[in-house]
Amino acid sequence: MNRAKVNQNINLNDYNDIWVIGEQREGKIHPVTIELIGEAKKLASEINKKVIAVVAGHEIDEEVNKLLHYGVDKVLYISSPLLKTFSTDGYSISIANLILERKPEIVLVGATSIGRDIGPRIAAKVGTGLVADCTKLEIDSTDGKILQTRPAFGGNLMATIICPINRPQMATVRPGVMQKAAHIDNPSGTVEVITPSLTEGDIIAKVVEIIKSCKKRVNLTDAKIIVSGGRGVKGPEGFELIRAFAEKLGGEVGSSRACVDAGWIDSMHQIGQTGTTVRPGIYFACGISGAIQHLAGMSESKYIVAINSDPTAPIFKVCDFGIVGDLKEVIPAMIEEIEKNNSFEV
C-alpha cells in the first residue's frame, strides 16, 4: 500500500463522520452526489458514523432539502450570494474552513470538472492528502481506515492507498462508479444553514460571462444501453453503423480512446479510464479489443456483449455474450431482427 506522507500533529480521535461534498450546477444537484451518498452510507454502516452532505450555493433550498430523501443524517448548506455562481476560490475556501471547524473523518468528492478543481485545493488548505479517481472504497477491519483503490501505471494495476497519519481522508470518485442511494419517503435528517466568512476579495477569479455549448448532450452516465465502437469500426464512417444500432436500441453512442485520438468521434463519447465511467444495463463493445484502460470505465455494466472478428481479443474474457464476426455483418443482422420483433427491452 502507498502511504500519504503529509504529516501533522493531530489527534485522530477528534475526527468523526463521513462527508459528501455535494455538487450543484445552476441550482440542480448533480447525480454524482447521490452516488457518493450511497457509498458513504455503506462505509458509515461499518464504522458507525453519520453521513453528512455539504452543499455550497445560494437560493437552492428546495434542491438541498431533496438530499434528505437519500438518507443523510444532515445537510450542511453553505449559503451566500457570493456562492450563487461557482468559483474555485469561493467554494474551496468555504468548504475547507468548515472542514477545519467540524473535523470530518472522511470526505468524498465527485471526480467531475468541478470536483477535480476544488478537491485538491481543499485537501491542500486542510493539510491532508487526496486519492483521485477511486473505483473502490472499503473500510480496513483492523483499524477502521478507509482503503482507497484506483487504477495506476496507465491502468495496468490497481493501487490501494491509505492515509494513516492525517485527517480527513479524502477521495474523489468518478460519476457512474458507485450505486446511487435509495430514495426514502420519510427522511429523518436535518438541514443546517451556514453563512460563510467570505468576501469579494477572497474570490480572485471573477466570472465575466457564461457561454453554453450548442452541442447535443451525450448522457452516457445515465444511459441504460450503450453501443461503443473501437478500432474495429475502421474510421469515422464506421460510427454511422454504431449510431444506427444505438438509435434502434434507444441507447447512446460510446467510443474507445483510440477512436477519439484518431479524430473519428468527439471526446464526449469516450469511455474508459481517461473518459467516462458507465454502468448501463447492456454495453455493446463493437470492434473493441478490451484494453484494461477501457475496461476500467465499463466493466460494471450489467451485461456486456462483445462483437469482434478476433476470437482472441481480451474483451471475450470479460463479456457475458460474445459474437466472433465482422461487425459490418453482425450489426445489420441484429438491427433486422429487432425490426422484425419491433421491440427491445433491457
Q: Do the two domains 2-202 and 225-341 of this chain adopt the same fold?
A: yes
Q: What is the pLDDT of residue 97?
A: 92
Cβ proximity of 35 and 108 under 8 Å: no
Please tell me which residue, 68 or 178, carries the higher pLDDT value: 68
The pLDDT mean for the chain works out to: 86
Q: What is the pLDDT of residue 144?
A: 82
Known binder of ligand: residue 289? yes
* Rounded average pLDDT over 35-41: 91
Q: How confident is the model at residue 107 (pLDDT cuts 50, 70, 90)?
A: very high
* Rounded average pLDDT over 207-224: 75
Reduced to 3 states, what is the DSSP secondary structure of residue 10?
A: coil
* Rounded average pLDDT over 222-231: 90
Known binder of ligand: residue 287? yes
First to last CA, the chain: 40
In this structure, what is the dihedral angle of CA atoms 185, 111, 132, 60, given to the nearest 10 degrees?
A: -60
Known binder of ligand: residue 116? no
Q: How confident is the model at residue 7 (pLDDT cuts 50, 70, 90)?
A: very low
* Rounded average pLDDT over 182-193: 88
pLDDT at 301 over 60: yes
Known binder of ligand: residue 274? yes
Known binder of ligand: residue 156? no
* Rounded average pLDDT over 288-308: 88
Known binder of ligand: residue 3? no
Q: How confident is the model at residue 344 (pLDDT cuts 50, 70, 90)?
A: low
What architecture is the 2-202 domain classified under in CATH?
3-Layer(aba) Sandwich (3.40)
Known binder of ligand: residue 186? no
Q: What is the pLDDT of residue 154?
A: 61
pLDDT at 27 over 90: no
Q: What is the pLDDT of residue 142?
A: 84
Please tell me which residue, 135 or 323, carries the higher pLDDT value: 323
Known binder of ligand: residue 9? no
Cβ proximity of 100 and 14 under 8 Å: no
* Rounded average pLDDT over 272-278: 82
DSSP H stretches of helix in the chain: 31-47, 61-66, 88-102, 113-126, 238-249, 257-261, 292-298, 327-341
Residues of the chain with pLDDT > 90, as a percent, come to 28
Known binder of ligand: residue 292? yes
Known binder of ligand: residue 231? yes
Known binder of ligand: residue 150? no
Which residue carries 433550498 as its cell?
A: 61
What architecture is the 225-341 domain classified under in CATH?
3-Layer(aba) Sandwich (3.40)
Judged on CB neighbours under 10 Å (0-12, 13-18, 19+), 111 is buried
pTM score: 0.70
Known binder of ligand: residue 22? no
Residue extents of the structural domains in the chain: 2-202, 225-341
Cβ proximity of 83 and 58 under 8 Å: yes
pLDDT in tens, 118-158: 999 999 998 888 988 888 888 888 888 888 888 776 656 77
pLDDT at 323 over 80: yes
> What letters, b where the CB count within 10 A reaches 16 and e where it falls short, cover 136-148?
ebebeeeeebbbb
Q: How confident is the model at residue 324 (pLDDT cuts 50, 70, 90)?
A: very high
pLDDT at 15 over 60: yes
Q: How confident is the model at residue 342 (pLDDT cuts 50, 70, 90)?
A: low
Q: What is the pLDDT of residue 149?
A: 82
